[in-house]
Amino acid sequence: MPYQPPIYVEHLCKYYSVHQKEPGLIGSLRSFVRRKYIDVKAVDDVSFTIDAGEIVGFLGPNGAGKTTTLKVLSGLLYPTRGTARVLGFIPSERRPEFLRQITLVMGQKQQLAWDLPAMETFLVNAAIYEIPADQFKQRLDELTELLDLSPLLKKQVRKLSLGERMKCELAAALLHRPRVLFLDEPTIGLDVTMQTRIRQFIREYNARHAATILLTSHYMADVTALCRRVIVIDHGKVLYDGDLHNLAEKIAPHKLIRVELAQPLNGQRLEDYGEVVSAREQHAALLVPRDATPEVAARMLAQLPIADVTIEEPPIEEVITRVFEQAARARAERGEEEDGE
Amino acid sequence: MTNVEGRRTNDAGRRTLGAQVLAFSIFRLPGKYAALLRRAMGLILEYRASIVIWMLTGVMPLVMLAVWYALAESGPIAGYAQNDFVAYYLMLTLVRQLTNVWVIWELDYEIRHGDLSVKLLHPINPIHEYIATHLADKVFRLWILVPLALLAWWLFPDLHYDVMPLTLTLWLAALVVAWLLRFLSQYCFGILAFWISQALTLNEMWFAGMLMLGGVVAPLDLFPAPVAQVANYLPFRFMLSFPVEILLGRLSASDVIVGTLTMLAWLAFFLMLYRWLWSKGIRQFGAFGA
């Protein structure tokens, strides 16, 4: 029988029909009499597959279609067209044996009952996910250890801090030990320490249980720390799917040369070597065409009083920004409108 | 590591498995309800003061009692003496308290704000989570209502109710169905929030219908005959009045049988309507706000 990856998406489309309304009373009246509907293509012909045990980062600006894709894959939304299969199931059928094997963690929606301790939600989940008592105890112990939950379990959820709440949310979402995790902004609003903590936990869960994970985040650090592979999506379309580090080579035609000068420059101009990104006292950074990097670096070493030099890939944030800029330019050239239609 | 389920391609196999899962989940349902109820009780106790206040909003039948009591001072009205009105409205108040439903406020909000997503991710139909909350509320209300009922009994010792084992059993069954009708019909209005933003307004009209034709404004047999005839077959009667009528002993055996059958027909109707609307509405869901 042919191998089927746990996540399989082919030509997936999700269009929303939204009615447009001019602001103000006149606009309200006009839209009452005759509603203008437009199709917003939240996801537009997206295809990808994810293998068992992979952690894939889903990147894109707000409104790119990341969350919509995750919601289709977890069965919350019916796709307009195309195919989605998760663990062999059609997500939108929302069959219990499917839902028992996946989870969707939304950084901005919570399942914990606000006015009760998190433990109450855990117990309810144990019942509705049909987790046997001994396994429940064992998993809770494991999660408590990994996330340091013991001081939190008996406190009212509303009295927890944002980070503490997120840890409890993760625990509630993972008690049934899902094989596929959809994580939508799991670190949003958290401080750096807590972000690192959550990241470590996700990596640990993936390693221990060989879970397949698709995650979105606005924090590049989440993605660089966890994902070797990224899928970049914008305006509902996949712009890039592959190794995170190849993305830089493919997209960014430049490398970054950082130099430290032994003494101030004496008439030479850094501008002659490349695009100066920053220059402060005796430190400078230049963008140099990728192919010319070795030659330019050699020339700088020969001609300038250099104490130290490093050659780096440009920061991944800049690479990503560049991807979106290029896509926007391409759309503009094709004469497409910015949104929908 | 492929999921075995994923390899099933023929539909027949799928149905058999579906039936198995169904049987399995019905078997497991009581355990799940126990857990849901436990959490719901926790929440209810957290909000106990507000529930007592909400209970006070259900005393409109007592206001109507005062009106009819005064009117019946000079003699019985259509067979209702003052004491009959007291018996009728006290029982109506009790039935109303025990069949109280507010699910549309939660459902409407959760659909329009996308909070329903959280429930949809669980491998259990969201309706069970709402039912559990309502059941917990009823358990809490009984703690208050039972002493109040005993107090009323002590204050009005000569009220006449038809408390035979058979009528009591029928009353209890009609009470449960009345709650189901109120819950399911309101749930159906709530599901409309998948399409429209004014589902609550429609429900208000439905609620007004229940006040008028469900026996709150007046016992149904006080209405002019043509109106009463129609009202006898509308769902509103079975959402409130019918259990009261059973216990008041004013119905003939054939009235009870016809009423029971009509009640069950409405229950079947709303059950099917709910299933149909839900399967359509869920496709509309936008899961907004996250």
Concatenated DSSP letters of B80-128: B-HHHHHHHHHHHHHHHHHT---HHHHHHHHHHHSTHHHHHTSSS-HHH
Contact at CB, B39 and A123, closer than 8 angstroms = yes
CA A4, CA A25: separation in Å to the nearest integer? 54
The answer for residues whose C-beta is within 8 angstroms of residue A290's C-beta and 6 or more apart is A249, A252, A253, A254, A255
**pLDDT for position A312:** 86
**pLDDT for position B255:** 95
- A 252-311 residues inside an 8 A Cβ radius of B: none
A78 touches B: beta carbon within 8 Å: yes
CA B248, CA A77: separation in Å to the nearest integer? 50
ipTM > 0.90 (yes/no): no
CA B141, CA B130: separation in Å to the nearest integer? 17
pTM tops 0.90: no
The answer for residues whose C-beta is within 8 angstroms of residue A74's C-beta and 6 or more apart is A86, A91, A102, A103, A104, A182, B121
CA A194, CA B52: separation in Å to the nearest integer? 42
- CA neighbor of B188 nearest in space, from B122, B280, B265: B280
Contact at CB, B114 and A109, closer than 8 angstroms = yes
Contact at CB, B6 and A67, closer than 8 angstroms = no
Nearest residue on chain A to B122, alpha-carbon basis: A99
How many pairs of residues across A and B have Cβ atoms under 8 Å apart?
Answer: 115
A120 touches B: beta carbon within 8 Å: yes
* Chain B residues within 8 A of A99 when measuring between CB atoms: 121-123
Rounded to whole angstroms, what are the CA distances from A173 to A118, A242, B214, B218?
Answer: 12, 28, 44, 51
- pLDDT per residue of chain B (290 residues) written in tens, 0 to 9: 334 443 443 443 444 555 555 555 566 788 899 999 999 999 888 888 888 888 888 888 899 999 999 999 999 998 999 999 999 999 999 999 999 999 999 999 999 998 999 999 999 999 999 999 999 999 999 999 999 999 998 998 888 898 899 999 999 999 999 999 999 999 999 999 999 888 999 999 999 999 999 999 999 999 999 999 999 999 999 999 999 999 998 899 999 999 999 999 999 999 999 999 999 999 988 777 54
The shortest CB-CB distance from B283 to any of A78, A110, A111 is to: A78
A130 touches B: beta carbon within 8 Å: yes
A74 touches B: beta carbon within 8 Å: yes
Contact at CB, A108 and B289, closer than 8 angstroms = yes
Nearest residue on chain B to A91, alpha-carbon basis: B121
Beta carbons of B174 and B242 less than 8 angstroms apart:
yes
Contact at CB, A113 and B121, closer than 8 angstroms = no
Amino acid at B113: H
Nearest residue on chain A to B110, alpha-carbon basis: A109
The answer for residues whose C-beta is within 8 angstroms of residue B44's C-beta and 6 or more apart is B51, B133, B136, B137, B139, B140
**pLDDT for position A336:** 66
Contact at CB, A116 and B285, closer than 8 angstroms = no
Closest CA–CA distance from residue B251 to any residue of chain A (Å): 44
Closest CA–CA distance from residue B65 to any residue of chain A (Å): 39
* Chain B residues within 8 A of A1 when measuring between CB atoms: 2, 7
CA B241, CA A149: separation in Å to the nearest integer? 52
Amino acid at A310: T
Beta carbons of A81 and A12 less than 8 angstroms apart:
yes
Beta carbons of B236 and B150 less than 8 angstroms apart:
no
Nearest residue on chain A to B7, alpha-carbon basis: A88
Closest CA–CA distance from residue B17 to any residue of chain A (Å): 10
A16 touches B: beta carbon within 8 Å: yes
- CA neighbor of A323 nearest in space, from A257, A250, A256, A255: A250
The shortest CB-CB distance from B5 to any of A77, A97, A124 is to: A97
**pLDDT for position B17:** 52
The shortest CB-CB distance from A1 to any of B7, B43, B46 is to: B7
* Chain B residues within 8 A of A101 when measuring between CB atoms: 3
Angle of helix A244-251 versus helix A316-334 axis, rounded to 10: 50
**pLDDT for position B14:** 47
pLDDT under 50: residue ranges of chain A? 338-341
CA A310, CA B255: separation in Å to the nearest integer? 94
- B 19-58 residues inside an 8 A Cβ radius of A: 21, 25, 28, 31-32, 34-36, 38-39, 42-43, 46-47
B287 touches A: beta carbon within 8 Å: yes
The shortest CB-CB distance from A109 to any of B8, B38, B117 is to: B117
Nearest residue on chain B to A73, alpha-carbon basis: B121
Closest CA–CA distance from residue A12 to any residue of chain B (Å): 16
Q: DSSP character for B216?
A: S
CA B137, CA A261: separation in Å to the nearest integer? 75
Contact at CB, A88 and B42, closer than 8 angstroms = no
Contact at CB, A85 and B6, closer than 8 angstroms = yes
A126 touches B: beta carbon within 8 Å: yes
* Chain B residues within 8 A of A169 when measuring between CB atoms: none
